[in-house]
Amino acid sequence: MAGTSFKGAEIKDIDHHLKGGGIDSDREKEIGQHIGYRYDVNLLPDYDRLTPFLKDYLEFMGWDDLNWLEDIHMGYEEGNPAVFDRNINGWVSIPADMDLPDNQQDRDMIARELLIKFQMSPKHPLVQLNSAYRKF
Protein backbone atom coordinates (compact mmCIF):
# COMPACT_ATOMS: atom_id res chain seq x y z
CA MET A 1 0.00 0.00 0.00
CA ALA A 2 1.44 3.31 -1.00
CA GLY A 3 1.42 6.12 1.53
CA THR A 4 0.76 6.12 5.22
CA SER A 5 -2.62 6.07 6.87
CA PHE A 6 -1.42 8.35 9.66
CA LYS A 7 -1.22 12.04 8.85
CA GLY A 8 -0.40 14.59 11.53
CA ALA A 9 -2.56 17.31 10.03
CA GLU A 10 -5.64 15.16 10.53
CA ILE A 11 -5.24 14.92 14.30
CA LYS A 12 -7.91 17.00 16.01
CA ASP A 13 -7.09 16.38 19.70
CA ILE A 14 -4.40 18.82 20.83
CA ASP A 15 -3.15 16.33 23.47
CA HIS A 16 -3.22 13.30 21.19
CA HIS A 17 0.55 12.72 21.38
CA LEU A 18 0.64 13.27 25.13
CA LYS A 19 -2.06 10.75 25.88
CA GLY A 20 -0.97 7.84 23.75
CA GLY A 21 2.78 8.21 23.93
CA GLY A 22 2.78 8.94 20.22
CA ILE A 23 2.52 5.29 19.18
CA ASP A 24 -0.06 5.23 16.41
CA SER A 25 1.02 3.65 13.16
CA ASP A 26 1.94 0.00 12.62
CA ARG A 27 5.55 1.02 12.14
CA GLU A 28 5.61 2.92 15.43
CA LYS A 29 4.14 -0.10 17.20
CA GLU A 30 6.77 -2.33 15.63
CA ILE A 31 9.70 -0.21 16.73
CA GLY A 32 8.06 0.90 19.97
CA GLN A 33 8.97 4.48 19.28
CA HIS A 34 7.13 7.55 18.11
CA ILE A 35 8.12 8.86 14.67
CA GLY A 36 8.26 12.59 15.06
CA TYR A 37 8.03 13.95 11.55
CA ARG A 38 4.30 13.55 11.16
CA TYR A 39 3.09 16.78 12.70
CA ASP A 40 1.32 19.49 10.81
CA VAL A 41 4.39 21.43 9.72
CA ASN A 42 2.26 23.66 7.50
CA LEU A 43 0.44 25.48 10.31
CA LEU A 44 0.97 29.21 9.84
CA PRO A 45 1.62 31.37 12.91
CA ASP A 46 -1.01 33.61 14.45
CA TYR A 47 0.89 36.84 15.06
CA ASP A 48 -1.59 37.99 17.69
CA ARG A 49 -0.05 35.38 19.97
CA LEU A 50 3.58 36.54 19.87
CA THR A 51 5.24 36.48 23.29
CA PRO A 52 7.07 39.60 24.58
CA PHE A 53 10.39 37.72 24.34
CA LEU A 54 9.79 36.91 20.68
CA LYS A 55 8.89 40.54 19.94
CA ASP A 56 12.19 41.65 21.46
CA TYR A 57 14.09 39.00 19.49
CA LEU A 58 12.56 40.12 16.19
CA GLU A 59 13.41 43.75 16.95
CA PHE A 60 16.98 42.76 17.81
CA MET A 61 17.41 40.91 14.52
CA GLY A 62 15.75 43.65 12.45
CA TRP A 63 12.95 41.40 11.18
CA ASP A 64 9.32 42.32 10.67
CA ASP A 65 8.01 38.85 11.41
CA LEU A 66 9.01 35.48 12.85
CA ASN A 67 11.26 34.71 9.88
CA TRP A 68 12.81 31.24 10.35
CA LEU A 69 10.75 30.68 13.47
CA GLU A 70 7.64 30.32 11.31
CA ASP A 71 8.80 26.75 10.76
CA ILE A 72 9.16 25.97 14.45
CA HIS A 73 6.35 24.03 16.08
CA MET A 74 5.95 22.20 19.33
CA GLY A 75 6.27 18.50 18.71
CA TYR A 76 6.09 15.47 20.93
CA GLU A 77 8.65 12.81 21.59
CA GLU A 78 7.77 9.68 23.48
CA GLY A 79 4.73 11.35 24.99
CA ASN A 80 6.61 14.45 26.10
CA PRO A 81 6.38 17.92 24.56
CA ALA A 82 9.57 18.87 22.74
CA VAL A 83 10.95 21.23 20.12
CA PHE A 84 13.29 20.18 17.34
CA ASP A 85 16.64 21.99 17.24
CA ARG A 86 18.03 21.83 13.70
CA ASN A 87 21.47 22.86 14.95
CA ILE A 88 21.90 19.67 16.97
CA ASN A 89 19.53 17.58 14.85
CA GLY A 90 17.65 16.47 17.92
CA TRP A 91 14.62 17.10 20.07
CA VAL A 92 14.86 19.28 23.15
CA SER A 93 12.33 18.48 25.85
CA ILE A 94 10.04 21.17 27.18
CA PRO A 95 10.50 21.50 30.98
CA ALA A 96 8.21 19.03 32.70
CA ASP A 97 6.84 21.62 35.12
CA MET A 98 5.63 23.91 32.34
CA ASP A 99 1.87 24.12 31.84
CA LEU A 100 0.93 23.75 28.20
CA PRO A 101 -1.71 26.03 26.65
CA ASP A 102 -4.79 24.39 25.16
CA ASN A 103 -4.08 25.34 21.55
CA GLN A 104 -1.29 24.64 19.09
CA GLN A 105 -0.65 28.30 18.22
CA ASP A 106 0.31 29.21 21.80
CA ARG A 107 2.28 26.01 22.17
CA ASP A 108 4.22 26.88 19.03
CA MET A 109 5.07 30.32 20.43
CA ILE A 110 6.40 28.71 23.62
CA ALA A 111 8.45 26.28 21.55
CA ARG A 112 9.94 29.17 19.54
CA GLU A 113 10.89 31.09 22.67
CA LEU A 114 12.44 28.06 24.34
CA LEU A 115 14.39 27.17 21.22
CA ILE A 116 15.91 30.65 20.99
CA LYS A 117 16.90 30.52 24.66
CA PHE A 118 18.45 27.09 24.15
CA GLN A 119 20.34 27.98 20.97
CA MET A 120 21.72 31.21 22.41
CA SER A 121 22.73 29.62 25.69
CA PRO A 122 26.47 29.35 26.40
CA LYS A 123 25.72 25.73 27.32
CA HIS A 124 24.37 24.81 23.89
CA PRO A 125 26.25 21.71 22.61
CA LEU A 126 27.46 23.58 19.53
CA VAL A 127 29.40 26.06 21.66
CA GLN A 128 31.75 23.33 22.84
CA LEU A 129 31.87 21.70 19.42
CA ASN A 130 32.67 25.06 17.88
CA SER A 131 35.61 25.71 20.17
CA ALA A 132 36.90 22.16 19.69
CA TYR A 133 36.65 21.83 15.94
CA ARG A 134 36.39 25.28 14.37
CA LYS A 135 38.89 25.58 11.52
CA PHE A 136 38.75 29.30 10.74
Partner 1 sequence: MADVSTEDHVSHEMGLHTEQLSGRTQQTFFDLTEEGGFAYTDSFEVDFNKRAEIDASNMGAKEVNLRIRELMQEGNGTIVLKNPGAKHSLCVGILNKLNVIVEGSLGYFGVGLIDGPNVRIKGRVGWSCAENMMAGTVVIEKNAGSTFGAAIRGGDLVCKGSVGSRTGIDMKGGTILVGGDTGAFSGFMMQRGRMVVCGNAGKNLGDSMYDGTIFIGGEIVDLGVDAVPGELTDLDRQWLTRKLSMYEMLPEKGVDHFTKIVAGRQLWNYDNLEPAEKKLIL
- CB-CB neighbours of 104 under 10 Å: 17
Contact call for residue 76 and partner 1 (CB under 8 A): no
User: Per rule CB under 8 A, is residue 77 in the interface with partner 1?
Assistant: yes
* Least distance (Å) between residue 121 CB and partner 1: 4
d(CA 15, CA 31): 22
Which stretches within the chain are classed as H helix?
16-19, 26-31, 52-61, 104-119, 125-133
**If binding is defined by CB under 8 A, does position 63 make contact with partner 1?**
yes
Contacts of partner 1 in 81-100 (CB under 8 A): 82, 85-86, 88, 90-93, 95
Which DSSP letter does residue 77 get?
E
Verify binding: residue 104, partner 1, rule CB under 8 A.
Answer: no
Closer CB to partner 1, residue 48 or residue 102? 48
